[in-house]
Amino acid sequence: MLAQLKPSTSFQAFFRYRQVADKILITNFEGNFLLLTQEEFKRYAEGDVEEESELYKRLDAKNFVRKTYRVADAVARMQARKHFLHAGPNLHVMVVTLRCNETCIYCHASRANMDAVHTDMTPEIAEKSVDIALSTTNPFVTIEFQGGEPLVNFEVVKHIIEYAREKNKSLGKNLEFTMVSNLSLMTEEKLQYLLENRVQICTSIDGPEKLHNAQRKLATMDAFQKAVFWIKRINQAYEEMGLDTTLYHCEALMTTTKATLPLWKEIVDTYVNLGCKALFLRPVDPFGFADRTRLKIEYPRSAYLEFYRNAVNYMIELNRQGVEVLERFAGIFLTKILQGQDPNFLDLRSPAGAGVGQLAYSFDGKVFTCDEGRMLYAMGEDTFHLGHVDTHTYRELVGHETVRAMVLASNLDSQPDCVNCAYNPYCGTISATNHKAQGSIFGRMRENNVCAVHKGIQDFLFEKIATADQELLDIFEKWTTIRAREHFVQDSEPANAAS
């Protein structure tokens, strides 16, 4: 049909288009969208739309008509979408140790054996890292404890929390702490400390017991059992503290490997049975494992997208039955698509958040644009190394030429393919992943795995939106609702933890 179109040179405002099922999706600069029939699209493209027609009203309402294009509306929408531009990093990943007691098949560069005590962050490095983190221009600061396994160096975790809280008294940042842990070294004493200090806890669940224990190996082969025990204990503690358990619960993340793909139903069921309200169906990253391992755990992105569709379709069915569970990728995209807001997920924004939305602090004080950059450094690639907490100031780090280059490279308005893609207003690209997979921070989107995943997920979501099934749209609307978790914001007094 496109070959037969005779486009008008004056009717349409700027738009991009993409076929979605039997409809044509059009999006504009500021991210409004419409799903048109083929016949409607032809009329729009050729400018054959009567001003009194219902189609014209739809087009005009979403700012797709050149004659009535409302610049002020577009500016307001763009400001809402790009709200993150004017503030510095809010996510500060602190790798308090590389030591880890679990051996995961997709993680080698990010961990060290338990006797590698030289990979523990010292209190001095920790304080300097916090000093830089709290220098950010962003009024919101989240310090995320990562590893290795952060519970291995719990004394430094505690030191960071106490030092940051004290220092923040004069700064007044909206300060939060998050810990990403396999939970196997959790104790009741440590948990009480984390609860009292309002630290959000996040763990990894790769799926059902057999899969989880095969991918995440403890010497005792009970990684799943230990994680599940503590997830339940944490959720119980939140309930005892009187917190709304639909909002406050132990979060869990999964990594999708080849073995995951057939188990989409079992994975969703596992999460639902654990009381988790959200799954993040993340594809495996190209970091941190040897090439020989890649053959065992990698898969074509078409296979991933089939997995994704199966899992999310099942989650939608569960929602129809009253079960509250959402998929995070979908939630992020739908917030942008349906609400015109950007939830500031750092890998899915333009420009991406490396260096300007997040910084990663290695155990030895080296600072990186992002955690992926830190992992690449461990693999011998120093592109994303910005400096050191001993020798560099905050402004030197975020003003580093590498950060500038990454901001340029991840701006979708400078990226071939993305400039013409209907998903441009909702999407993002990841420079560190591009560099690892395709040799440059720009990447080549047509051959890019992340792009394939992002396009595939958005195709799926727009196909669903195109059905105009009101019950489904209501479910999607719920998935876009961002509820602030005020309990995790630090104030001067510790919380009363339930023991």
Residues of the shown chain interacting with another protein in the complex, contacts defined by CB under 8 A: 82, 85-89, 136-137, 351, 355-356, 393, 395, 398-399, 403-404, 407-408, 411, 413-416, 419, 439-440, 442, 444, 447
Least spacing, CB of residue 399 vs another protein, in Å: 5
Least spacing, CB of residue 427 vs another protein, in Å: 15
Q: For another protein, give the closer residue by CB, 88 or 207.
A: 88
Least spacing, CB of residue 83 vs another protein, in Å: 10
Distances in whole angstroms, Cα of residue 178 to Cα of each of 44, 150, 199, 255, 494:
49, 11, 5, 19, 15
Q: For another protein, give the closer residue by CB, 247 or 419.
A: 419
Q: For another protein, give the closer residue by CB, 447 or 486.
A: 447
What are the residue ranges of helices labelled H in 300-417?
A: 301-320, 328-339, 371-378, 394-398, 401-409
Q: Burial letters for 136-166: b for 16+ Cβ neighbours within 10 Å, e otherwise?
A: bebeebbbbbbbbbbbbbbebbbbbbebbbe
- Among candidate residues 83, 85, 88, the one with its CA nearest the CA of residue 397: 88
Q: For another protein, give the closer residue by CB, 294 or 404.
A: 404
Least spacing, CB of residue 417 vs another protein, in Å: 8
Least spacing, CB of residue 387 vs another protein, in Å: 14
* 211-215 long-range Cβ contacts below 8 angstroms, 24+ apart: 211/259, 211/260, 211/263, 211/266, 211/267, 214/105, 214/259, 215/104, 215/105, 215/106, 215/255, 215/257, 215/259
CB atoms within 10 A of CB 115: 7
Question: Which residue is it, tokens 């080849």?
Answer: 258
Q: For another protein, give the closer residue by CB, 147 or 355.
A: 355
Question: Which residue is it, tokens 């940051």?
Answer: 164
Least spacing, CB of residue 402 vs another protein, in Å: 12
Residue 255 DSSP SS3: strand
- Tokens linked to 363: 């155990």
Alpha carbon distance 24, 12 (integer Å)? 15
Q: For another protein, give the closer residue by CB, 262 or 399.
A: 399
Q: For another protein, give the closer residue by CB, 292 or 446.
A: 446
Q: For another protein, give the closer residue by CB, 244 or 413.
A: 413
Q: For another protein, give the closer residue by CB, 179 or 407.
A: 407
* 462-467 long-range Cβ contacts below 8 angstroms, 24+ apart: 462/20, 462/25, 462/33, 462/35, 462/337, 463/20, 463/21, 464/316, 465/35, 465/337, 466/20, 466/21, 466/23, 466/35
Q: For another protein, give the closer residue by CB, 319 or 410.
A: 410
Least spacing, CB of residue 407 vs another protein, in Å: 5
The distance between the two most distant Cα atoms of the chain, rounded to a whole number of Å, is 75
Alpha carbon distance 493, 498 (integer Å)? 16
Secondary structure element (H or E) that encloses residue 212, with its range? helix 209-215
Alpha carbon distance 94, 92 (integer Å)? 6
Least spacing, CB of residue 272 vs another protein, in Å: 39
Contacts of 157 (CB under 8 A, 6+ apart): 96, 145, 150, 151, 179
Least spacing, CB of residue 99 vs another protein, in Å: 32
Least spacing, CB of residue 135 vs another protein, in Å: 8
Least spacing, CB of residue 339 vs another protein, in Å: 21
Question: Which residue is it, tokens 């988790």?
Answer: 276
- Among candidate residues 372, 374, 375, 340, the one with its CA nearest the CA of residue 450: 372
Least spacing, CB of residue 54 vs another protein, in Å: 33
What are the residue ranges of helices labelled H in 326-388?
A: 328-339, 371-378
Contacts of 155 (CB under 8 A, 6+ apart): 123
- Among candidate residues 20, 50, 45, the one with its CA nearest the CA of residue 35: 20
Q: For another protein, give the closer residue by CB, 159 or 400.
A: 400
Q: For another protein, give the closer residue by CB, 236 or 393.
A: 393
